Amino acid sequence: MLGLKPELSQGEVVLAEYAATVYMVQGNLSSPGSNIRLFLTNQRLILKAGFGPQRTLSLSAIAGIREEKLHFHNMLRLEFRSGHLEWMTVQDQAQFIEALRSAQSQAPEIPEVYPQTAPYGRAVLGAGAIILIVLAVCLVLGLCIFIITSGVLFLYPRLH
């Protein structure tokens, strides 16, 4: 996925990398799901999409890890000491949970920091702007074709 590389802190090492889909952030549905790369380090979980900044979640702040069946997905629910919730599916989920618990037991204490805005908001706004531009271009082209066609149909009988 675009050869994404996380921004690491000093002394931080990537232990594993996973494909994941984030469905809920802070208890709110995150679109139909945001596909990301999930990096497990010796200090944090780093969530990185193709566009936009990375989000980080402190391993030492995780209060609970559990799997729950929601709809057709076997979701992973991460609960943080602050009450913050993350819902996601992760490739090789059982192996990820085991690696996460192992890394968490050795992780240094890092304070929780969460963005004030919705994750990946800039990417969503950028995609929306592109869609609006494409629709505007289609509308202008359609209007030009209509005007030309109407002119031809109106003038053609008078020329003959």
Level-2 CATH architecture, domain 14-117: Roll (2.30)
pLDDT at residue 86, as a whole number:
85
What are the structural domain ranges in the chain? 14-117, 120-160
Four-point Cα dihedral 62, 66, 71, 74, nearest 10: 110
Average pLDDT, the chain: 80
**Structural contact between residues 88 and 76, judged by C-beta atoms closer than 8 angstroms:** yes
Other CB atoms closer than 10 Å to residue 8's CB: what's the count?
Answer: 16
pLDDT in tens, 101-138: 999 888 888 766 654 444 444 455 566 678 888 899 99
Q: Where are the alpha helices (DSSP H) in 8-120?
A: 93-106
Under-70 pLDDT residues of the chain: 1-3, 24-33, 111-128, 158-160
